[in-house]
Structure 1
Amino acid sequence: MKDELRGKGLDESAIAFIEPILTLSGKTQEKLVKIAELLSSSEVGKKGVEELSEVFRLIDTAGINQTVELDLSLARGLNYYTGAIFEVKANDVAIGSICGGGRYDDLTGIFGLPGVSGVGISFGADRIYDVLSSLDKFPSEAKEGTKVLFTNLGAAETDYALPMLKAVRAAGIAAEIYTETTKLKKQFDYADKRSIPYLAIVGENEMNSGTINLKHLATGEQVEVTIQQLIEKLS
């Protein structure tokens, strides 16, 4: 590891600083606490830890069952990433990563569109094919597109909606949540453009009543339902 860091142009003092971070062990939350201590003197470092902590908080809020581990030695071979990076591996198959990507804030500026951040991911089609073949996971028939879009009207509303999104997906219903907080009309337009038939509107009133406002875009019909009623209606 040290030779690789030297090959990147790091001097011995920089390597001595980085090495304890790359070799941290323990559970994710333990690593986050330790790295926060190690980077406490760096404003950039502290911001990075805050971003990672928020990512794992959202993973927990969404109730994701798949194993998600913090690997501080992970590196991607591209230099435009500015935040968290990630790789996806398949369980029960001896193969490398099948997906990978990360956060970037400046990449679009290269193409004349500055100030637009995003998260990108690439899929290894050949490897995914091999995994599906070896595990006999190819679907017998093509699945339909997204059936319901959960709105994103703020951080609190998103936290409320994520467990519902998980429940809907677990019931076999194709669903997604809008990726940013914005005006409801923009989210309506997105659903309409992608031919998503239903919009699950989650605002302050719905949070207070423990319900969802379900709107059928084609007819305009709008009803207040519980998550179980939504699943029954869309199944």
Structure 2
Amino acid sequence: MTKDSEKLLIDAEGYKYIFKGNDLHTKDGLLTKEAIAAAKPGDVIATNKNVSFHVLEPSFLDKYWKIKRNAQIIPLKDLGFIAAEVGLCSDWIIAEAGSGSGGACCFFAHLCSAGKMYTFDIREDYLKIVSENVAFLDLKNVELKKHNIYEGIPLAPESVNMVLLDLPEPWLGVDPAFAALKHGGYLVSYSPSVPQVMDFVNKIRETPGFLYLKTCEIAEKEWDVLGRKVRPRSQSIGHSGFLTFVRKL
């Protein structure tokens, strides 16, 4: 399928389906590929059970939610905060260590469409999933490599705007990140546990030329609104990980 022929189908409850050229078997019946292909954004089509679906052009995030996962990805609440905190620009060069399923890689590659996204991991099975997700999202500025960045980041010295570490031992990535970062560039570490944060920040403070900025966590709480009845949802995204921000002087 071409990008122009992609379509998003949404029902009244907000369930989303991406049309990939085949019949869609939904929880509310069948949508034929012929009916979907003939529909234009803004049209409404019905399943064989007469349940209506709105047809839209899928956004990047509509497709992003459909990527394959074999490892937990950094939540969007954290990725968005990282982008805002570092003032991410479209022409940046970013290096990520710890590819996982490629959630962060794909998100930042989309934002840095005029730049370059490098992602490194030691597991080929992870890199295979990332490669499939990159192709699914039609990202052209991503380079994947099987490599242990504890041994160094294989990029030109002082060429990178941001290094993202999503590693079990992020303190071992401090020196390689320092060598790769431009002056003024950012090092961001994502860690789920306090001991990881402590060891990482201690290493930063022992490294001349790095300025520790802050460590924080982002909580997201959704609210239900029904007429005049408003209350927080019982299930919200609380702690996912700690974000530590560092800048190279």
Normalising by structure 1, we get a TM-score of 0.29
Give the number of the structure whose residues are more often strand, by fraction. 2
**Structure showing the higher helix proportion among its residues:** 1
